[in-house]
Amino acid sequence: MMADTPDPNTIVWFNNQFVPLAQANVNILTHALNYGTGVFEGIRGYFNESQQDLFLVRAHDHYERWKRNAGILRIQIPPSPEELAAITIELCRRNGFRSHVYARPLAYKSSARIGVAPDANDAFSIVVVPFGDYFENKEGLRAGVVSWRRVEDNAIPGRAKICGAYVNSVLATDEARRNGHDEAIFLTESGHVAEGATCNLFMVRAGRLITPPGTDNILEGITRASIIELARNEMKLEVQERSIGRSELYVCDELFFTGTAVEVAPIVEVDHRSVGSGAVGPVSARLRALYNDATRGRMPAYIRWLSPVYRGAAAGKAA
């Protein structure tokens, strides 16, 4: 996927005010630009045609994760998750978005000077843009284990969306694409399966849903949590969080990625070997359908995940 360059007139949140994207620029010496000291988020919003409303998905949870993870770099984000969700809703309204959207919050070390030592100058921005599918291939993806290893928690914590850590994902994606795959699969230094370059990984084996644990250097995905909840509640599936060996990828029944951008993305080929039957499997297909229904406001039990933009509701965990 290659997203279009956003319209420079898009209204964004920058330096605590609403400004056009064209004016939201930083100094070339900004600490985060030089040293990667930022923490970002990714939040989707889905436009429901029949309800004529735009629903932000788990905005409160994303903002809570963002604030906590920014703390790893000791970056302060003063507003509460509710206030941050309210800014995001206001951005959608001011831009009049009536399509699916993607919100990109970014908190960063903002001093413009030379020197690695961080100071207390922090800033944050929020940009919302129209957004479609991340992967064009609906028939299933081809994934490949890459030679790069997933960043270790004791080097750069992968559980946070730390800007500098995404060099790891960029290298992996570049290698995977050049090798003819749609998406990379990372192993940890100890050889266990971690996740994709921009998404978590699930495996179906003998009727169980299995995904690597938080201690295998994964980003603790909010979509991953949603899928675990949907699998347990709606499909009565047993879900295990445990380490996965590389060769299990070759003998399992189904594999799929999850993430805000990728949504639920079934994998039909891994390292040039068919996954299961080589077609999208029944568990992946069912979970993809459940996830789509829940995030578009079509499942009453999961409306609690959604913040409506145009219904005038308060932000965050609005019903």
Ligand X SMILES: Cc1ncc(COP(=O)(O)O)c(C=O)c1O
Which residues participate in catalysis according to the annotation? 161
142: contact with ligand X by CB under 6 A: no
In whole angstroms, what is the distance from residue 253 CA to residue 182 CA?
Answer: 20
The stretch near ligand X (CB under 6 A) out of 2-10, 75-83, 221-229, 270-278 is: 221-229
Residue 248 contacts residue 205 (beta carbons within 8 Å): yes
Of 283, 314, 318, nearest in space to 297 by CA: 318
39: contact with ligand X by CB under 6 A: no
What is the H or E stretch that residue 234 is in?
helix 222-235
**What are 265's strand-pairing partners?**
257
The minimum distance between CB 212 and ligand X, in angstroms, equals: 11
Where in 213-281 does DSSP place strands (E)? 239-241, 254-259, 263-270, 273-274
What is the H or E stretch that residue 185 is in?
strand 183-187
State which residue, 199 or 309, has the beta carbon closest to ligand X. 199
State which residue, 11 or 265, has the beta carbon closest to ligand X. 265
200: contact with ligand X by CB under 6 A: yes
222: contact with ligand X by CB under 6 A: yes
30: contact with ligand X by CB under 6 A: no
Of 275, 257, 278, nearest in space to 266 by CA: 257
Tokens describing residue 271: 């390292």
In whole angstroms, what is the distance from residue 318 CA to residue 63 CA?
Answer: 14
Q: Which one of 37, 110, 125, 198 is in contact with ligand X (CB under 6 A)?
A: 198
State which residue, 38 or 259, has the beta carbon closest to ligand X. 259
The minimum distance between CB 125 and ligand X, in angstroms, equals: 18
Kindly calculate the radius of gyration of the chain based on its CA atoms and give it in whole angstroms.
19
Q: Which one of 70, 129, 219, 309 is in contact with ligand X (CB under 6 A)?
A: 219
Handedness of CA 217, 219, 222, 223 (dihedral sign): negative
The stretch near ligand X (CB under 6 A) out of 47-55, 132-140, 215-223, 247-255 is: 215-223
The stretch near ligand X (CB under 6 A) out of 18-26, 30-38, 220-228, 307-315 is: 220-228
195: contact with ligand X by CB under 6 A: yes
State which residue, 111 or 168, has the beta carbon closest to ligand X. 168
The binding track of 84-113 with respect to ligand X, each residue x by CB under 6 A or -, is ------------------------------
Residue 262 contacts residue 134 (beta carbons within 8 Å): yes
130: contact with ligand X by CB under 6 A: no
Q: Which one of 109, 159, 192, 224 is in contact with ligand X (CB under 6 A)?
A: 224
In whole angstroms, what is the distance from residue 118 CA to residue 121 CA?
Answer: 8
Task: Enumerate residues 241-260 that contact ligand X by CB under 6 A.
Answer: 258-260
**What are 147's strand-pairing partners?**
none
Residues near ligand X (CB under 6 A) are 42, 161, 169, 195, 198-200, 219, 221-224, 258-261
